[in-house]
Structure 1
Amino acid sequence: MSHRLATGDSAPDFTLIDAAGNDVTLSSLRGDSVVVYFYPAAATPGCTTEACDFRDNLASLGAAGYKVLGISPDPVGKLAAFSAKESLTFPLLSDEDHATAEAYGAWGEKKNYGKTYEGLIRSTVVVDPDGRVAVAQYNVRATGHVAKLRRDLGIDR
């Protein structure tokens, strides 16, 4: 299992391709707080719920100084279709080799219906303006996660 990040750790830098085919580099967002959330698969029920929750809360997160990046192992084409279908207005990034998920501790052993396998662990890491981890949450639930994150960050609607 990959190493999980903790508050105060330096957030691993990455450059990934977004749903529109553009490179997005975390270090280019220094000076901003960034919510980096990892989800297993675009267009699945839980991931759709979580993405739409981030979309619906994007204005208040932005007003509080947070940018949002969603990362999954999906290819760019699947991300583009998902983004368009759900009217998502924040970048979805493709991490097909799951190297970024591994660097963030969001890739590891999972259990489902009695089977054990390696996969993406639904996780959220908030990176502060200096590139350090402000919040690291692992094994989060798709439903209600954004509301809990907002409470943890002290963001009122």
Structure 2
Amino acid sequence: MTEVIILGVIHEIYKDDVLEFIEEYNPDVIGVEIRPEDINSSKEYLHISYPSEMIEIVYRFSKEIKVYGFDWLGEDMKNKKLSHEYWRNESIKRLYRQFESDKGFEKERELLKIIEEKEEEFIKKSNLKTYNSEIADIFVEIYYKQFFMILDKTPYEEYARFW
């Protein structure tokens, strides 16, 4: 029988807890949110696009444990290198910036902001174990259901589908 543990984290917040958990648990395999085509890249390259805990997981554990990347940025980016420019100009980021400045969605953004603020309060009071609970799942579910309903059949629908 194979045991699978999915560990949710907020990037950079629980970094030390995540690394400690992996050391104590000593898994046979680790999946990390890095594209498969990037997983064996240099630290310098990885720092362009990925949070430090992901990079540290790869470099700290991959000599002893198989580390797989599983992130995906769309078919148009498959097997292509990422750059600083990608994160400034890529179409999803442009849609995000347009949505954030669209005056027609101020009330909707305010609703999402309230949910985000409440989740942030929970995060500040939490540790890795309490964050990986049903409470965190509820915040995520409420946020994304609202997010998808707000952006459905709008010029920003592609941004929602990406998430």
Could you state the TM-score of these two structures normalised by the residue count of structure 1? Answer: 0.29
More strand by share: 1
More helix by share: 2
Q: Which fold has the larger relative contact order, with Cα–Cα distance below 8 Å and residues 6 or more apart in sequence?
A: 1
